[in-house]
């Protein structure tokens, strides 16, 4: 997957523009309401989804697999962002606890074991009463069922990209033990679910 995204960023550079995703604006408003101050973004990309959190005075740390994307983000944000270079499957990169974690359109690119690890790793890096928000593609997306099926609800699409398509039941199964408390449908690039979890006091 590293090679796929490295090539994509090299060819298309800021391929999604600089406007943050609709899901990001919703997550940002939610974090602001909850007085979140310190946000971790696994799968930062070139940083387009970091700006709203920064604008609200939050500290943002990113994890990104593509060095090209990191270079683009650092060119734009300078020292405003701390970015770890590596795969989210290698989390954690630090021993800091965050009161907000935002993961946009990433988890559905992973296989089942990687998804479970990402959810667990993010949950473990939350402060008590901290929140994590994931956005993920749903089975309502027009690309669902295209390409070759490699596992239940997981397909290899044209170009080699592998994608898992969520439904509410699979969200409950994978996030149910991670403080899941709300699932919202959002029309973004594709039909997405916005998944909210809270780490309760032990």
pLDDT confidence of residue 138? 97
pLDDT confidence of residue 122? 98
pLDDT confidence of residue 201? 73
126 band by pLDDT with thresholds 50, 70 and 90:
very high
- pLDDT, tens digit, 9 for 90 and up, residues 147-196: 999 999 999 998 888 999 999 999 999 999 999 999 999 998 899 999 99
200 band by pLDDT with thresholds 50, 70 and 90:
confident
In three-state secondary structure terms, 164 is strand
- 74/178 Cα distance (integer angstroms): 32
Q: At what angle do helices 67-77 and 2-12 cross, to 10 degrees?
A: 50
Contact 7, 171 (CB under 8 A): no
116 band by pLDDT with thresholds 50, 70 and 90:
very high
3 band by pLDDT with thresholds 50, 70 and 90:
low
Enter the tokens of residue 159.
């170009």
- Answer whether residue 2 shows pLDDT above 70: no
Helices (H), the chain: 2-12, 22-33, 51-55, 67-77, 112-124, 168-175
- pLDDT, tens digit, 9 for 90 and up, residues 5-31: 444 444 444 455 678 999 999 999 999
Q: What is the mean pLDDT of residues 88-105?
A: 97
Give 40: exposed, middle or buried? Use CB within 10 Å, 0-12, 13-18, 19+.
Answer: buried
Angle at CA of residue 159, ends 6 and 174, nearest 5°: 80
Residue 44 DSSP code: -
Enter the tokens of residue 170.
């699979």
Enter the tokens of residue 14.
């800021």
Annotate 78-122 with DSSP letters as a single string: GGGEEEEES-GGG--SSS--EEEEEEES-GGGS-HHHHHHHHHHH
Q: In terms of Cα–Cα distance, which of 134, 22, 4 is closest to 69?
A: 4
Q: What is the mean pLDDT of residues 121-141?
A: 97
- 48/46 Cα distance (integer angstroms): 6
Angle at CA of residue 39, ends 125 and 43, nearest 5°: 85
* Summary mean pLDDT of the chain: 91
């Amino acid at each position: 997957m590293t090679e796929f995204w490295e090539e994509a960023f090299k060819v298309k550079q800021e391929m999604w523009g600089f406007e943050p995703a609709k899901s990001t604006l919703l997550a940002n408003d939610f974090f602001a309401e909850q007085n979140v101050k310190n946000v971790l973004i696994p799968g930062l990309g070139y940083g387009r989804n970091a700006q709203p959190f920064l604008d609200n005075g939050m500290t943002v740390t990113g994890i990104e697999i593509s060095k090209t994307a990191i270079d683009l983000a650092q060119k734009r944000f300078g020292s405003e962002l701390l970015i770890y270079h590596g795969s989210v499957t290698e989390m954690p990169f630090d021993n800091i606890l965050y009161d907000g974690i935002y993961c946009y359109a990433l988890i559905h690119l992973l296989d089942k074991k990687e998804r479970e690890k990402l959810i667990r790793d993010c949950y473990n890096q939350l402060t008590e009463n901290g929140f994590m928000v994931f956005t993920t593609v749903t089975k309502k997306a027009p690309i669902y069922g295209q390409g070759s099926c490699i596992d239940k609800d997981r397909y290899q699409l044209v170009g080699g990209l592998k994608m898992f398509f969520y439904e509410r039941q699979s969200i409950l199964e994978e996030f149910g033990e991670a403080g899941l408390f709300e699932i919202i449908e959002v029309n973004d690039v594709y039909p997405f679910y916005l998944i909210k979890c809270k780490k309760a006091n032990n």
